Amino acid sequence: MNEKIKVKVTNLIKNFGDNQVLKGINLEVHDNEVVVVIGPSGSGKSTFLRNLNRLEAPTSGSIVIDDTDIADPKTDINKVRENIGMVFQHFNLFSNLSVSENIMLAPVELGKATKEEAAKQAKELLARVGLESKYDATVQSLSGGQQQRVAIARALAMNPNVMLFDEPTSALDPEMVGDVLGVMKQLATQGMTMIVVTHEMGFAKEVADRVVFVDDGNIQEQGTPDEIFNHPKDPRLQNFLDKVLNV
Amino acid sequence: MKRSFIRIVGGLIALLSLFAVLNFSTTPAKAETTYQIATDSTFPPFEFANSHNKYVGIDIDLLHAIAKDQGFKVNIKPTSFNAAVQSVQSGQMDGVIAGMSITKEREATFDFSKAYFMSGVVMAAKPNGKVTSLKQLRGKRVAVKTGTSGAQYAQSIHKKYGFKIVTFDESNDMYQDVLTGNSAATFEDSPVMKYAIRQGTKLKIYTKPALSGPYGFAVKKGHNQKLPRMFNNGLADLKANGEYARITRHYLGAKGSSDTTSDRTFLGLIKQNKGALLSGFEQTVWLTIVAIFFATLFGVIVGLLGVVPSKFCNGISTTLIYIFRGLPLLVLALFIYTGIPSLTGQKIPAFIAGIITLMFNEGAYIAAFVKGGINAVDDGQMEAARSLGLPFGKAMRRVILPQGIRIMIPSFINQFIITLKDTSILSIIGIIELTQTGKIIIARNLEGFKVWAIVAIIYLIVITLLTWLSNWVQRRVRL
């Protein structure tokens, strides 16, 4: 693991009206590190992730990614987002565009690549996620697992150096989960910095460098997969693991 | 993106000012000797369209003869009586000749010529003899036409004789109300009533002319003072050389102009009025196309203002939709055509006033569903686009709008059909489109049922064609 700090979150607070969802989160993510965020529903882990690329604007605190404070309203958020890939629970592929157009849209629109370059890159990325045959397919013709892999390819097309995953397998049929996790594992081994919110404990154990347990709007405990899963200290974590692992 | 919206709004303003310039450029012609004269579109025998769709009648023929005698030109514009009176008051028109009685009340706002015709109000009822005098009207309904001396007369005696007044905008509707028995009688100027009876209206006159009223030619008080003077001089000449007598005899004499001999079957009516119906139809189609174009432009801009991330723009959008969707089309049309010019002194041609009316009203509905269509696109689509680093405008254009438009298409088609039908309301400001054409034909031949049936069928045909066209477009757009 690299010692360079890629993402530094300091005292992050997010309120929705009177409801405080994030209550002062502090977290450092190093370059090439894979951090898996676990926690019960409603604990604030998705909100936390959405703050990291300002899909939700932080109420207070700072989020520094590569020396840029994205919580600062003066920051050009579009520039920062080019370097942060995001994968959503419901894939959110652009339903008016074909598979390849989904992948090519941002690089071409933002002047990162010509149409030809983007098309070549789209082919390579689709091969990487095992879907080269779907280049011209419509989004509607794909299964959920295939859509999520295209969504990952779409995010990668901008060459991000951080990837955020918001429960990427929660909306999938069980037999599709493996393909998506496979692509994510491959990304991790290639050294991508990843922050993954998930309920896939197997993935967390196998791939995570660090596991973060969030409950009640704050980080209650963090550590290596071995520390978290085999020696949990916080009673809430113990309770949570008891519920998810011993079904 | 915000900047390009401002550009679009700027474009719209430029367009509107172009309209204004067009107005200016059309007005100077009248500065020579051509006066714009308003008249009632349906007041036979004083003014009505003959079977060649040409305006004739005592007023029209007199005015043309006087103009020739005095060496000036007139451009006579038929519209409803109320609109004619208001258009002179607002300065849209220079004068009005519309069988208009000279009254104290009107002299406060108009300068009249000398009286050119003496009329009087008579009571007409069904010839079965059930109602033959004013006394028998107690507890019954009497039909009158808005703003006429008949209406004024009814107002002055309705307490004494204890009847109820119902008002209509069109003579034919008023006669029809008596014929169906809803009203017991009608009060109308005697020459008008005589003419209608000669045209086949099954009513009978039972009283002597009352409230004898002098008809005068009028201009706005203090304006166009030359016009009534020339009218008076011309009238004196016509009376001296026998022309006046010839004209009035032509319309009121025993062997006067009459239309009763012509073919009154459906086919006959269509044949006689082919030209008028065709030009009304063309006007309706033309109005619809131009109105849809501007309404779509206005609606899309206002709709987009409603979804951009700016509270200020959202507020403007909501307010515009609220105002223009809330106003009845009829009120909006009258406000733009007669209200605004009387405030600014700037004339607005009826067609342009009609287009502006439809642009705002239909545009407000379009704005509402444009906004709704965009909001109906899943939030995740915008989030995904933004998370890739696409700015709001690009995300909107490439991802949200293409999906939103597909949602909006059925609403667009619906709105186009509504716009076509709503053009009929513009007959109120005197645009001679299909509905107004129907009114004018009926004013002459009083064949309400048949003519309205013909007009209705024409509307249905156009709407069917428009629906087919829309469905074809819809199939092409849906991928």
pLDDT at B83: 81
Average pLDDT over residues B209-234: 90
From B365's Cα to the closest Cα of chain A, the distance in A is 25
Are residues A150 and A129 in contact, defined by beta-carbon separation less than 8 angstroms?
yes
Nearest-by-Cβ selection for B403 from A96, A106, A151: A96
Q: Which one is predicted more confidently, B253 or B245?
A: B245
Q: HEC profile for B89-157?
A: HCCCCCEECCCCECCHHHHCCEEECCCCEEEEEEEEECCCCCCCCHHHHCCCEEEEECCCHHHHHHHHH
Establish if A139 belongs to a structural domain: yes
Asked if the structure places residue A221 within a domain, the reply is no
Q: Is residue A86 part of a domain?
A: no
Residue ranges making up the domain that contains A119: 94-159
Q: Helices A115-128 and A99-109: crossing angle, nearest 10°?
A: 130
Reduce the DSSP state of residue B34 to 3 states and report it. strand
Of the candidate ranges A43-57, B205-219, B335-349, the one whose mean pLDDT is the lowest: B335-349
- Provide the pLDDT for residue B478: 59
Chain A hits for B380, CB-CB cut-off 8 Å, are 88, 90, 92
Q: Which residues pair with B210 in a beta bridge?
A: B121
SS (H, E, C) B329-376: HHHHHHHHHHHHHHHHCCCCCHHHHHHHHHHHHHHHHHHHHHHHHHHH
Could you give the 3-state DSSP secondary structure of residue B3?
helix
pLDDT of residue A118: 96
pLDDT interval class at B30 (50, 70, 90): very low
CB contact under 8 A, A109 and B399: no
What is the C-alpha to C-alpha distance for residues A190 and A32, in angstroms, rounded to an integer? 9
Looking up tokens 């706002």 gives: B109
Using 50, 70 and 90 to split pLDDT, how confident is the model at B253? low
By C-alpha distance, the chain A residue nearest B398 is A105
**Cβ–Cβ gap A105/B383 under 8 Å:** no
Taking every pair of C-alpha atoms in chain B, what is the biggest distance, in angstroms? 90
Contact A47, A35 (CB under 8 A): no
Cβ-Cβ contacts under 8 Å, B402 against chain A: 96
Cα A42 versus chain centre, distance: 17
Q: Would you state the pLDDT for residue A1?
A: 52
**Which phi and psi (to 5°) does residue B451 adopt?**
-65, -40
Chain A partners of B403 at a C-beta cutoff of 8 Å?
95-96
Q: How far is CA B43 from CA B190, B212, B312, B435, in A?
A: 12, 18, 51, 17
Q: Give the mean model confidence (pLDDT) for residues B453-469.
A: 91
Contacts of A105 (CB under 8 A, 6+ apart): A94, A97, A154, B385, B388, B390, B398, B399
Report CB contact under 8 Å: A158, B389: yes
The dihedrals phi and psi of B262, each to the nearest 5 degrees, come to -70, 165
CB contact under 8 A, A53 and B387: yes
Residue closest to A145 by CA, chosen among A167, A165, A187, A175: A175
Across the interface, which of B381, B389, B406 has its CB nearest the CB of A94?
A: B381
Q: Which of B298, B312, B329 is nearest to B424 (CA)?
A: B329
Inter-chain CB proximity A97 and B399 less than 8 Å: yes
Q: In the structure, what pLDDT confidence band is assigned to residue B128 with cuts at 50, 70 and 90?
A: confident
Quote the CA–CA distance of B279 and B432 in Å, as a whole number: 8
Positions in chain A whose pLDDT score sits under 50: none
Q: Do B384 and A78 touch (CB under 8 A)?
A: no
Structure tokens at B252: 């009121």
Residue A119: inside a domain = yes
- So what's the pLDDT on residue B22? 46
Comparing CA positions, the residue from A175, A171, A93 lying closest to residue A137 is A93
Considering only CB atoms, A94 lies closest to which of B387, B391, B399, namely B399
Residues in A closer than 8 angstroms to B398, CB to CB, are 94, 105, 109
Contact B381 A53 (CB under 8 A): no
d(CA B447, CA A175): 76
Q: Which two tokens stand for residue A243?
A: 């519920």
Residue A82 included in any domain:
no
Closest chain B residue to A105 measured between Cα atoms?
Answer: B398
| Of the candidates A117, A188, A120, the residue with the CA atom closest to the CA atom of residue A152 | A188
Q: Do A109 and B380 touch (CB under 8 A)?
A: no
| Best mutation target, B379, B387, B390, to test chain A (most A CBs within 10 A) | B387
Closest by Cβ to B390, choosing from A86, A109, A155: A109
Question: What single-letter DSSP state applies at residue A138?
Answer: B
Q: Does the beta-carbon distance from B387 to A82 stay under 8 Å?
A: no
Is the CB of residue A106 less than 8 Å from the CB of residue A183? no
Q: Which of residues 373-392 of B touch A (CB under 8 A)?
A: 378, 380-381, 383-391
Round to whole Å and give the CA distance between B162 and B447: 32
Cis peptide before B45 (omega within 30 of 0): yes
Q: B436 CB contacts (<8 Å, ≥6 apart)?
A: B41, B280, B427, B430
Q: What is the DSSP string of A5-72?
A: EEEEEEEEEEEETTEEEEEEEEEEEETT-EEEEE--TTSSHHHHHHHHTTSS--SEEEEEETTEETTS
pLDDT at B104: 86
- Confidence band, pLDDT 50/70/90 cuts, at residue B28: very low
Task: Sort out which chain B residues have CB atoms less than 8 A from A80's CB and list them.
Answer: 389
Are residues B399 and A96, on separate chains, in Cβ contact within 8 Å?
yes
The beta-carbon neighbor of B398 closest among A86, A95, A109 is A109
Helix (H, G, I), strand (E, B) or coil at B30: helix
Helix-helix angle B274-305:B2-26, to 10 degrees: 150
**Alpha-carbon gap: A25 to the closest alpha carbon of chain B (Å):** 22
The pLDDT of residue A73 is 83
Separation of alpha carbons B136 and B142, rounded Å: 11
Contact B390 A106 (CB under 8 A): yes
Is residue A136 in a domain? yes
Query: How far away is chain B from the Cα of A241, in angstroms, using its nearest Cα?
Result: 31
* Contacting B residues, span 31-70, partner chain A, CB-CB under 8 Å: none
Nearest residue of chain B to residue A87 (CA atoms): B384
The helix/strand/coil state of B326 is: helix
pTM for the whole structure = 0.69
pLDDT band at B256 (very low <50, low <70, confident <90, very high): very low
The shortest CB-CB distance from A109 to any of B378, B381, B394 is to B394
Confirm or reject contact between B393 and chain A (CB < 8 A).
no
Give the least confident one: A29-33, A134-138, B278-282, B338-342: B338-342
A210 is a domain residue:
no
Asked if residue A216 belongs to a domain, the reply is no
- Within 10 Å of residue B317's Cβ, how many Cβ atoms? 24
Round to whole Å and give the CA distance between A62 and A8: 8
Query: Mean pLDDT across the stretch B194-218?
Result: 85
Identify residues of A whose CB sits under 8 angstroms from chain B CBs: 53, 55, 78-82, 84-86, 88, 90, 92-97, 105-106, 109-110, 151, 154-155, 158
Angstrom distance (rounded) from CA B232 to CA B95: 14
Quote the CA–CA distance of B107 and B103 in Å, as a whole number. Answer: 6
How many independent structural domains does chain A possess?
1
A66: left (phi over 0), alpha (psi -120 to 50) or beta: left
Are the beta carbons of B93 and B85 closer than 8 angstroms?
Answer: no
Higher-pLDDT residue of B158, B217:
B217
* A92/B389 Cβ within 8 A: no
Are B138 and B163 in contact by the 8 Å Cβ rule? The answer is yes
Residues of B in contact with A97 (CB under 8 A): 399
Q: For the residues B358-365, what does the mean pLDDT come to?
A: 96
Sort out which chain A residues have CB atoms less than 8 A from B385's CB and list them: 94, 105-106
Our CA-based measurement puts residue A209 at a distance from the nearest CA of chain B, in whole angstroms, of 25
Average confidence score pLDDT of chain B: 85
Report whether A113 contacts A107 (CB < 8 A): yes
Using a CB-CB cut-off of 8 Å, the residues of chain A touching B391 are 78
CA–CA separation, A179 vs A200, rounded Å? Answer: 13
User: Which residues lie across from B76 on neighbouring strands?
Assistant: B37
CA dihedral B95, B98, B102, B107 (to 10 degrees): -30
